[in-house]
Each structure stands twice: as structure tokens, then as C-alpha cells.
Amino acid sequence: MSIKPEKVTLQVSEPTRLDKALAAALPQVSRRQIRKWIDRGSVWVNRKRIRQQGYSLQPGQTYSVLVYTGTAVNTTADDESIDWKARILYQDDALIAINKPAGMPAYPTQYSVTDSVFHILQRLGILPSRARPFHRLDRAVSGVMVIPCTRKSAAELNAQMAQQKIKKRYLAWVQGHPETDQWEVRGYLLAPTPQIPRARFLTTEQQGSRFSHTRFRVLWRDPSHSRTLVEAIPLTGRTHQIRVHLQVSGFPVLNDWRYGGPRISGTHLQDRILLHHVEMHLTHPLSGSQLQIRAPLPPYFTQFLPPDRSENSF
């Protein structure tokens, strides 16, 4: 089902709250409903999703606003077959961890508001309405996705992330055989844009770029094929970071055509790449206990493992 947004152009004569300006532009809608739309991430202002009720619009500017009012969920037949409860890796009142399937956005985007993991979990009653976004995985990437269930948990986890106290571990099948067993990539990334959908790697800082750093380790080289299983430890969290760092290293992720990875035939990998967030280590936001959350590998990932090695050995 295609969900079309309500399009609104806003101009104000004095600083005005977003919810108030939208209420004036959409008199047929209650301000309470507008606040709900903003809170659930269904309102975009100049291509940016806004979740703050009091977001201030300034005079002298024109704001192009998209409001996704639909409540239907746009899923494919494959998505509808997903057993979401079986994908829960950890759950309590503070947070929930899901083994995210590849091919689905983690959170609402301007082009996919109602078919994200976040929205579907809320629709099914698995995720409370007060849950807040935290880290995200690319649409084509699978694995551990942690979602805080309260504002307090979200604030604590974001603080841990800013202090680099949260550790993430990814596995990737890449093209080629690296000569060295370990290497690092440091550089600056320009995030993708609607005009340029690929992140760009820079060796020197430029306006709008952000520093990025990933450590890589070879886990197994397939002697029969030109592919290698690699561990990736991101020390920063930038959009498409691991994918770009592997591309500039000369070993793109298999099936990641956007960054030069060869397509894999016969494995039903449409909109899926062989990059999996296998583990996350964090401190519980309320109890202070240490959590190690691991997501099992999808079948299209394990098919390339040697017969004598299980996924738990990596």
C-alpha cells in the first residue's frame, strides 16, 4: 500500500512552534493529533524528520512540510511472514533488542514512514509508544538493533554512545583475500544525500564531513572462492561507515552493489547485503549491569561457512 503525505508550505511572521503552525494550516485536524504525528516521526520539515513539538519556525523562511497521516503498514509478503516475537533478543521495561531483518528500514524515513521495524513493533504492541530511536542499522543490514523504551533509558544510552562505552561487532563477507590479517581505516565521511545516495570518503576534513574509524580482522579466507569473512569494529558511528571503509580498502561487502560489491545470484538477496551486526556490549541504563547481546546469523550469511565451523565460532 502506498502512503502519500499531506504537503504543507509554511511561512510565519514571527517565531512559531511547529505544532501551532501546522494546526493553523490544517484546521480540520486537532492539535492533539498533530502532536501525535510529530511524536511518532511522521512529520518532515525541509527533508528532515522533526520529533520536537516546540520546534521553532523562523520568519523570512519557507518550510516545506510533509505529514504522513496514514496508519497502514506497507509490507511485502516476505515481511508479513516475519515472526517478530521470535526475533526478540532481550526485553525488559528499559529496552528491547531485536534481530533486525535485512531489507527493512530501522526507523521511519521520508520515503518509508510506516513500514520500518520501529513502527511495526509499535503496531504489534511489542514496543511501547513512549519508545525512542537510538542507533540505527542500514536498510540492507541485519542484526542487533537496540531500542530504549523510555526517555530516561534513551538519554542514558545516548550518553554511553557519546562516551564510546558501547561496543559493536559486525561480521561481513567481502570480495577478495586481504593480505594482512588486521587493518584500520581512518578518514572523513560525507553522508549520503537525496542527490548523491552514496557516502563519500575523504582523507582530509571538509565542510560537512565527519571523522570515521573502523578496525578490521580477518576471520576466515575461503580457499575455494575469492571471498573472506571479516570482523568489523566501528569506533565511530557514521552512515554507511563499514561499507565505505571496506570499499576503500579494496574489499567491498558481497551484494553491496552501491559500494562496488559483486551481486550474489540464487540467494534471494534483494535489498540485502552480507553485513550483520552480530554483537553489542552496553551497560544497562537502569540496573548498571553489563549486557552482551548477540544476534544469530541469517541463513544467506551462514551458507558460505565451512562445514566444520559453526557461526558461534566467529
- Residues carrying an active site annotation: 138
Alpha-carbon separation of residue 300 from 19, 91, 269 (angstroms): 45, 26, 8
Dihedral of alpha carbons 181, 182, 187, 190, sign: positive
Decide: 228 and 178 in contact? Cβ < 8 Å: yes
Rg of the chain over all Cα atoms, to the nearest angstrom: 21
Phi/psi at 9 (5° precision): -110, 125
Which amino acid is it at 14? Answer: E
- Kindly give the interhelix angle for 18-25 and 31-39, rounded to the nearest 10 degrees: 130
CA atoms within 13 Å, Cβ hemisphere of 91: 13
CA 133 – CA 78 distance, rounded (Å): 24
Other C-beta atoms lying within 10 Å of the C-beta of residue 21:
21
164: β partners: none
Query: Is the separation of the CB atoms in 185 and 214 below 8 Å?
Result: yes
